[in-house]
Amino acid sequence: MSSRTSSSASEQLGFQVLNHLQVIYAEEGDEALLGLASELVEIMRLQQVGTIPLSHKNDWNEADVIMITYGDSLHQPGKRALTTLHQFLHEQCEGVINGVHVLPFFPYSSDDGFSVSDYYKVRASVGEWGDIKKLASEFRLMSDVVINHCSSESGWFQNFIKGEGVGHDYFYVANPDDDLSQVVRPRTTPLLRAVETAKGVKHVWCTFSHDQVDFDFRNTDVLKEFVKVVRFYLDNGVNIFRLDAVAFLWKEVGSSCLNLEQTHEIVRLLRVLIEFACPTAMIITETNIPSRENLSYFGNANEAHCVYNFSLPPLLLHALLTGQSFYLKQWMMSMPPAQDGTAYFNFIASHDGIGLRPVEGILPDDEVEKLTETMQAFGGHISWRALDNGVNKPYEINITLFEALKGTIEGEDALGVERFLCAHAIMLALEGIPGVYFQSLLGSLNDHERVAMTGSFRSINRHHWDYHALVELLGDDKSHYGRVFTAMKRLISIRTGQSAFHPNATQFTLHLGEQIFGFWRQGLNRRQSIFCLNNISDKPAVLLLSDLNLISTHQWSDLLSGNVFDDLHATVEIAPYQSIWLSNEK
């Protein structure tokens, strides 16, 4: 993001910070908030700034593709895991991947890193800060800020139990008699956990698990602590800040405790501080909630730079399993173009499962049931959440994407690889920045042994690989791993060379029947157009090129197959799960 010089930049920063604090801490006096604003500016080392970051500026382009991975998914004897990850990126993904999201690499006690016990350390089994800096010097680096909760084994929570020291007042304490009936939960465990402390029994708030204790941001010391964390990560090369589970941040008894105004205002405050410190840095909010609520985290291009496109994975999976694009198209037509300065973060697989809350109000219950039954038949699991009426509802599907797409609702078939690649061809072509999960880049299978070992359904898609064994598999074109990896790298390489695939390039949904899911992209310079045509069914599809209204003075060719289309009135047969990127520029 560019910036402009201003003699009043420091005044502007102070003014913005104070405005946000007045909304978050409305009951605090002006003098206290002025002091807090000064402290935050000092923590970020922004006492003297000479420029004001420009808004509505896109600091990304079509070349940006982020690989999502755990820092210890790859192992080789005698080397730190992050060193091996760096080796993989250079030896296997050179020129293909330019960003990497290293999932929580901190010491932790549960949830594969998302129950952080120390925010200022790198887990010894993964590496050290030098490894993080090395990655950041060569790739755009995304790190999690696990901002809603931390481990019950953390030093902060141990001080809470003792009643003294840093962190002793960082955690949200509630009364079991409070009216908590409206609180939205993503889990079925009890919300409150009774803890014996030096000051008696306290009931701490645990949105996710009893090992993950929620912070109390009513305490301004908690806000200051996380601003320190952000500054520390910036100093170590982090460029993209993923705010984990941020939608649950602010609590008010008697409310849903989800997406409250103070939560949004804290995100806006962090954006101001981060942009003044590093104009090219970004915030991405992780809010696995219904689509309309998720979109609210864009604000007016003054909140998150990116939001996860959470509805895409379940809707695309449903389309490919049923051969029907109706719900996918309906949703896509309802999605507003991201303003300049914001972008969608597209993904179809991640370290977590395929969330089902984002399709509430989009996919009917009977279609969700059809989807979950098929996933269980393919070896997957279903995680549940508790409703306020005591009923449990499917929350997410736990399965690898490759196994999820090994058939249709009619059962397994021989078109799994084609279906899997079609899913990624769609995702890579959509408006937004693509995130490709490491296990999907390889075509990983369900890891049932790891589920049995950890007791967590999510472990099914978190396989650990021996580096040399993996490289051997990837080099074998007879294995599905080799086929998938080679094809995925080719898809990404083609994608990153097209101006029409800029994350903010124009997108329109096409109406070509149920079998063909199509959309049109046009570059910001309006020179390149790409018609993205995808047969989402297991039957051949027929397309009349005249239905696309192609400009006859342009030469049209498929970027994926190389086929040239001279007769714009011809009939084209599209094979099952074939994708065509029909472009007027090669």
Confidence tier at 8 by pLDDT (50, 70, 90)? confident
Tell me if residue 244 is catalytic: yes
Tokens of 399: 């399965």
Mapping DSSP to helix (H, G, I), strand (E, B) and coil, where does residue 231 land? helix
pLDDT of residue 51: 87
3-state helix/strand/coil string of 481-549: HHHHHHHHHHHHHHHCCCHHHCCCCEEEEECCCCCEEEEEEECCCCCCEEEEEEECCCCCEEEEHHHHC
2 pLDDT exceeds 60? no
pLDDT of residue 586: 74
468 pLDDT exceeds 80? yes
pLDDT of residue 390: 67
Which of the residues 244, 352, 538, 558 is marked catalytic?
244
For 18-68, the pLDDT digits (tens) are 999 999 999 999 999 999 999 999 999 999 888 899 888 999 999 999 999
For 155-176, the pLDDT digits (tens) are 999 999 999 999 999 999 999 9
Entry field: residues in the chain: 586
Closest to 72 (Cα-Cα) out of 120, 108, 118: 108
Contacts 24+ apart (CB under 8 A), 390-396: 392/188, 394/356, 394/368, 395/186, 395/187, 395/355, 395/356, 395/357, 396/288, 396/352, 396/353, 396/354, 396/355, 396/356
For 178-221, the pLDDT digits (tens) are 999 999 988 888 999 999 999 999 999 999 999 999 999 999 99
Domain map of the chain by residue range? 506-583
381-386: strand order across its sheet = 354-355, 392-398, 381-386
Q: Which CATH class is domain 506-583?
A: mainly beta
For 113-144, the pLDDT digits (tens) are 999 999 999 999 999 999 999 999 999 999 99
3-state helix/strand/coil string of 334-397: HCCCCCCCCEEEECCCCCCCEECHHHCCCCCHHHHHHHHHHHHHCCCEEEEEECCCCCEEEEEE
